[in-house]
Amino acid sequence: MIKRKLMMVERIMYVDPETPVNCIFSAKIKGELPEQNFKTALEKIQQKHALLRVVIDSKTEKYPFFIEEKEIAPIPLRIVERKTDQDWLTESQKEWKILFEEEKTPLARVVWVRGQDVSEVFWAIPHCISDGTTGVTLMKELLQLLDNPALELEPYEAFTSVDEFLPSNFNVKSKKFKAKLYLTFARFFFMLQQKSKKRNLGKNYVLHQKLDPATTTQITQKCKANGISVHALLCSAFMQAFQEVKGKEAKGKVISPVDVRHFIPEIKEDHLFAFAPTVDLAIKKGSSDLLNNAKQIKEDLVQKIGKMEARELLWMGEQMHPIVDRMISMLKSSNGGHDVTLSNMGRINIPNDYKNFSIETIFSPTVAFPWLNSNTLVTSTYNHQMDFIFLSNEDFLPKAEAAKIKEKAIALMTTS
């Protein structure tokens, strides 16, 4: 039976029992989907992933914990009749705000925006059990089972503590001293911070844009010709666009999450997991040499990833539970030192064609953060089309400004 405390990073994404932070992963499907196949598919997916059979108890102990619910309800399916191409986006924004609070209900929902020949299907999952790779996995499994309900999925053992990821030579004694030092510094830092009452009271919004295959190819060829990665070009273009639109208010820095599975192979690609370690990437203030900035970012990223100690980061996070509430409070009230959190998922590894339907496209995930600086860009590529999701809050970054930033950045990436 599963019973474990939420990791520090899971607690940050959980926030508290009253704040929903839900990730939405959507696919557009051409063809007929038999309704009865959904029930079988969702049952099998729930049996495979232990985290889809738990609830969060935030009342019984000092810190919230996952606990397996023996009488867990099936993953709910909500069906909406499709009227326009934008219904999936409207429905996904509704799902941002709905808590997973009902007793004995799993931490996942599926919505089917049902049309005659075209449908959108999406997962809504709390961020505290899900990163981008999780969304891809759940979508891939759902599509496989909708096409072939006889398919069997292999369950896996859920981890019970981050200690399971520690190498045999991990010196807990010396690391505990380091952790105590960090915790003391952190407490002192928070003590010095003036309590800010600033909060985002405006409306969360999403800007969506999908590039056609020709424009997407143009970007990838530009990167190849200049020896840079698409991720580095994205970072460079968006930081420059922020500078052009926001002027002196621009920070010239992005926060970039990295898939933890690169560092901890025990966490398999098809395992549900929420922690993505991040790297800070910056450009020189006022610098507008797009390609040079991208080259510098690529070098910086390679260097920072090379030095990353993900196992230690996970363990160290577990020593920081006493200050998590203060971290969350700061995220809700601080402007932060970055322009945007930029998550590039790269090529989405989901097949196009199935026996009974085909996938027209996959959309980059959306999520509405409760942070003051909620600027988030998620990009992905599917079927030779790059997809952009830009999310923020009207209070922090007006939607019209965000649209200008997105347009400028894409123009920078596509002009030779």
Model pLDDT for residues 153-189, shown as the tens digit of each residue = 999 999 999 999 999 889 888 888 888 888 898 888 8
393 sits in which H/E element: strand 385-393
Burial of 331 (0-12, 13-18, 19+ CB in 10 A): middle
222 sits in which H/E element: helix 213-226
HEC assignment per residue over 35-63: HHHHHHHHHHHHHHCHHHHEEEECCCCCC
Inter-residue contact 93 to 70 (CB < 8 Å):
no
Inter-residue contact 135 to 125 (CB < 8 Å):
yes
Q: What are 75-133's pLDDT values in tens digits?
A: 999 999 999 999 999 999 999 999 999 999 999 999 999 999 999 999 999 999 999 99
Alpha helices in 113-171 (DSSP H): 132-147
Tokens encoding 286:
């006022």
Q: What are 295-354's pLDDT values in tens digits?
A: 999 999 999 999 999 999 999 999 999 999 999 999 999 999 999 999 999 999 999 999
Inter-residue contact 361 to 387 (CB < 8 Å):
yes
Any bridge partners for residue 366, and if so which? Answer: 24
Which domains are seen in the chain, by residue range? 3-147 (3.30.559.10), 202-347+369-414 (3.30.559.30)
DSSP 3-state of 104: coil
DSSP 3-state of 258: coil
Which is it for the CA torsion 402, 407, 408, 413, positive or negative?
A: positive
Q: State pTM to two decimals.
A: 0.95
